[in-house]
Homo-oligomer: A and B are copies of this chain.
Amino acid sequence: MDSLTPTAAGKTEALAARYGRDAIPPAGPWNETIAGMLGHRSVRAYRPDPVPEGTLETLVAAASSAATSSNLQTWSVVAVRDPATLAALAEVASGQKHIRQCPLFLVWVADLSRNARLGEAEGVTLEGLPYFESFLVAAVDAALAAQNAVVAAESLGLSTVYIGALRNDVERVAGLLGLPPGAVGVFGLCVGYAANPGEVKPRLPQATVLHHERYGTDAEAAQRAAYDDLLRDFSARNEMGPETWTRRVINRIGTLKAMAGRDRLAAAMRALGFPLR
């Protein structure tokens, strides 16, 4: 058992906030970096304060330091501060006001265009580029880079929220940012100082997402019922209505209407130069 040093108590509290008191996992080693990650919450209201000088370059240095498949580095990032562009991006994202409000907005780009330009300059056909695999490499590269930037930002006392709703209209986003063929904004990221950081959102228990040797679902129904209770209480406390996880999942992916245009994503990607072969 851990002694009740401040760190051990902090660890238990952090795990309870993330998983609920009834599902605290037997986590071992702990430190400040991990405690910082456990404290993550997505923030959708920002103070007007700018980020300190050099913050963007620090975040991109962290992003560049993430692993990248075969060192292909198939990602880019566009930093947007122009109010007209931010207003247009917010419109794409169904009006999410924090896009206009945050002092730094980043669009993370799955970018095969740089490698394509390399091939053209060298007079070589890169046969792998048109394949689904290459888009997936680029999307994962962009996600790993972005998550490093998020951890870096939060370690500096900043808050963030990913904006997947840029995928409501990837063609319009590409036009706004001047993206070449083979480049697509996979998500945005607001960065700034939280107006109200709010409460850590509980997640599914480790027993649901972590499997040993082989995937199993024996206890999943009971785990989901317990998590439904946990999330209903969280939602009620945070003025989001007493919704269970089950209900939220159904609302979010139950209908094509809820996809807000993203049911056309594959076609839009092909129009942007990703054959997804």
B183 touches A249 (CB 8 A): no
Count of identical protomers in the assembly: 2
Report Cα–Cα, A84/B259, bound state, in Å. 42
The yes or no answer to A177 lying at the interface (CB within 8 A) is: yes
In the complex, per-residue mask of A199-227: 1 if CB is within 8 Å of any chain B CB, else 0 = 00101101011111111110011001000
How close is A60's CB to chain B, nearest CB, in angstroms?
5
Contacts A65-B40, A245-B71 hold; do A58 and B203 have CB atoms under 8 A apart?
Answer: no
- Most B CB within 10 A of own CB, among A161, A164, A248: A164
Q: What are 16 residue pairs bridging A and B, where the CB atoms are less than 8 Å apart in the complex?
A: A19-B61, A25-B61, A29-B156, A30-B58, A34-B152, A40-B66, A65-B203, A71-B201, A77-B210, A78-B212, A128-B255, A128-B263, A129-B253, A147-B148, A147-B151, A177-B211
Contacts A29-B58, A126-B254, A203-B65 hold; do A75 and B144 have CB atoms under 8 A apart?
Answer: no
The yes or no answer to A9 lying at the interface (CB within 8 A) is: no
Closest to A149 in B: B37
The yes or no answer to A125 lying at the interface (CB within 8 A) is: yes
The yes or no answer to A1 lying at the interface (CB within 8 A) is: no
Report Cα–Cα, A172/B75, bound state, in Å. 29
The bracket for how many chain A residues form the interface is 35 or more
Could you tell me which residues of chain A, from 59 to 96, have a CB within 8 Å of some CB in chain B?
Answer: 60-62, 64-73, 75-82, 85
* B-chain residues with CB within 8 Å of residue A131 when the two chains form the complex: 259, 262-263, 265-266
B128 touches A25 (CB 8 A): no
How close is A53's CB to chain B, nearest CB, in angstroms?
5
Q: Given contacts A15-B61, A33-B155, could you give 17 more A-B pairs where the C-beta distance is less than 8 Å?
A: A26-B54, A34-B58, A34-B61, A34-B152, A37-B148, A56-B210, A119-B250, A121-B221, A122-B250, A128-B253, A128-B259, A132-B269, A133-B262, A134-B253, A136-B186, A147-B151, A179-B215
A140 touches B187 (CB 8 A): yes
* B-chain residues with CB within 8 Å of residue A224 when the two chains form the complex: 118
Report Cα–Cα, A68/B76, bound state, in Å. 21
